[in-house]
C-alpha cells in the first residue's frame, strides 16, 4: 500500500504577520528614538556650554591670581572643544542609526510589495527614494554647524587665555580667530560631513557592516 509523503508543515500566516508587524513597529521606534537622542545630545551640549560660560563670567578674583585663572580657563575651554567634537560624532552616529532603521523598514516594505504590487503606491520612502545621508540644508547639518562653531570659539578662547597666561599683554586676536576657524571647520568636515558623504544611498551602516 502506497502512503504519500506528508506535506511539509506550512508556517502559521497569522503568527508570521504578527512577527513582521512587531518587527516593523520596533524598527519605527528605533528610528524615532534616534531622532530624539540627536535632539537631546544637541541640547545637552548647549546647556553645558552656556552654564560654564555663565559661571566663568561671574568669577571675580584678585589680580595676583589671574595667571592661575587664565590657566583654568584654558583647561575649561579645551574641554568644551572636546565635548563639542564628541557631540558632533554622536550626531553622526545617530543619523547613521536612523538611516539603518529606515533601510530595515524598507526591507519589509519591499517584501510586502513583492507579494502585492498594489501596495507600492502607499510607500513614499523606498530604497531608491530615502533621504540622502548628508544634506547641506538639513536640520542635522545645522545642528552640527552650531556645535562646531561654538567648539571653535571655545578653542579660540583657550588660545587667547593661554597667551595671556604666558605673559602676553594683549589678546592675540588673529591667532585666536584662526584657531577658532580651523577648529570649527575641521570638526564639521571630518566629524560630520565626510563620514555621511561617504555613505552610499543604499549602503548598510557601520553596525550592519560590522556584523558581516
Alpha-carbon dihedral angle through residues 139, 146, 196, 191, given to the nearest 10 degrees: -160
Q: How many CA atoms lie within 13 A of 52 on its CB side?
A: 18
**Least trusted range by pLDDT, from 7-16, 45-54, 74-83, 156-165:** 7-16
Q: Locate cell 509523503: which residue?
A: 5
CA distance 152 to 40: 21
**Phi then psi dihedrals of residue 5, to 5 deg:** -65, 150
Q: How remote is the C-alpha of 125 from its chain's centroid?
A: 21
Cell 510607500 sits on residue: 123
Residue 81 has pLDDT above 90, yes or no: yes
Domain ranges of the chain: 13-199
Interval 108-134: pLDDT, tens:
888 888 888 888 887 887 777 788 888
For cell 504578527, the residue is: 18
The CA angle 150-152-157, to the nearest 5 degrees, is 95
Identify the three-state secondary structure at position 34.
helix
What is the reported pLDDT for 175?
92
pLDDT at residue 2, rounded to an integer: 45
Q: Which residue has the cell 552654564?
A: 51
Q: What is the pLDDT of residue 155?
A: 94
Which pLDDT belongs to residue 62?
Answer: 59
Mean pLDDT rounded to a whole number for the chain = 82
- Among 4-8, 38-42, 99-103, which stretch is predicted with the lowest mean pLDDT? 4-8
Beta strands, E only, the chain: none
Amino acid at each position: 500500500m502506497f502512503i504519500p509523503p506528508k506535506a511539509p508543515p506550512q508556517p502559521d500566516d497569522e503568527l508570521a504577520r504578527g512577527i513582521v508587524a512587531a518587527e516593523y513597529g520596533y524598527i519605527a521606534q528605533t528610528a524615532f528614538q534616534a531622532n530624539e537622542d540627536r535632539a537631546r545630545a544637541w541640547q545637552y551640549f548647549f546647556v553645558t556650554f552656556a552654564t560654564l560660560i555663565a559661571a566663568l563670567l561671574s568669577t571675580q578674583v584678585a589680580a595676583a591670581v589671574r595667571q592661575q585663572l587664565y590657566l583654568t580657563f584654558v583647561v575649561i575651554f579645551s574641554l568644551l572643544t572636546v565635548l563639542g567634537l564628541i557631540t558632533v560624532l554622536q550626531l553622526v552616529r545617530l543619523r547613521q542609526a536612523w538611516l539603518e532603521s529606515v533601510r530595515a523598514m524598507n526591507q519589509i516594505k519591499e517584501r510586502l510589495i513583492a507579494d502585492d504590487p498594489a501596495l507600492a503606491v502607499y510607500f513614499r520612502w523606498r530604497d531608491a527614494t530615502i533621504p540622502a545621508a548628508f544634506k547641506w540644508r538639513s536640520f542635522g547639518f545645522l545642528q552640527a554647524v552650531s556645535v562646531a562653531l561654538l567648539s571653535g570659539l571655545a578653542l579660540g578662547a583657550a588660545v587667547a587665555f593661554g597667551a595671556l597666561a604666558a605673559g602676553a599683554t594683549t589678546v592675540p586676536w588673529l591667532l585666536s580667530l584662526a584657531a577658532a576657524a580651523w577648529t570649527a571647520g575641521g570638526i564639521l568636515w571630518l566629524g560630520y560631513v565626510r563620514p555621511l558623504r561617504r555613505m552610499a544611498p543604499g549602503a548598510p551602516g557601520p553596525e550592519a557592516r560590522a556584523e558581516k
